[in-house]
């Protein structure tokens, strides 16, 4: 039997299941290994990009090559 699921999001969660149940022979990680670890980094990067400013249209047209 493998354990898997949303409540098992962190390594400590999987360890808790393994320590408190019998017959579990492994853990199948999906989001806990691929999506959840990168969400904070992606969120922070998006916030950084949202803070950039653009020149106004008038000043952009005043720029000569």
Q: How far is CA 4 from the centre of its chain?
A: 18
Q: Which residue would you say has higher pLDDT here, 49 or 6? A: 49
The helix (H) or strand (E) run that includes residue 2 is strand 2-3
Comparison of pLDDT for 29 and 57, the residue scoring more: 29
Locate tokens 């999987």: which residue? Answer: 14
Distance separating alpha carbons of residues 45 and 3, to the nearest angstrom: 32
Q: Is the pLDDT of residue 46 over 90?
A: yes
Specify the pLDDT at position 56.
81
Evaluate whether 1 touches 25 at the Cβ level (below 8 Å): yes
Q: Is the pTM of this model over 0.75?
A: no
Whether the CA torsion 46, 48, 51, 56 is positive or negative: it is negative
Mean pLDDT of 10-14: 93
Confidence category of residue 63, pLDDT binned at 50, 70, 90? low
């Amino acid at each position: 039997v493998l354990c898997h699921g949303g409540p098992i999001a962190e390594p400590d969660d999987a360890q808790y299941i393994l320590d408190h149940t019998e017959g579990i022979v492994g853990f199948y990680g999906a989001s806990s290994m691929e999506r959840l670890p990168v969400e904070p980094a992606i969120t922070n990067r998006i916030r950084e990009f949202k803070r950039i400013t653009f020149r106004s249209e008038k000043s952009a047209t005043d720029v000569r090559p």
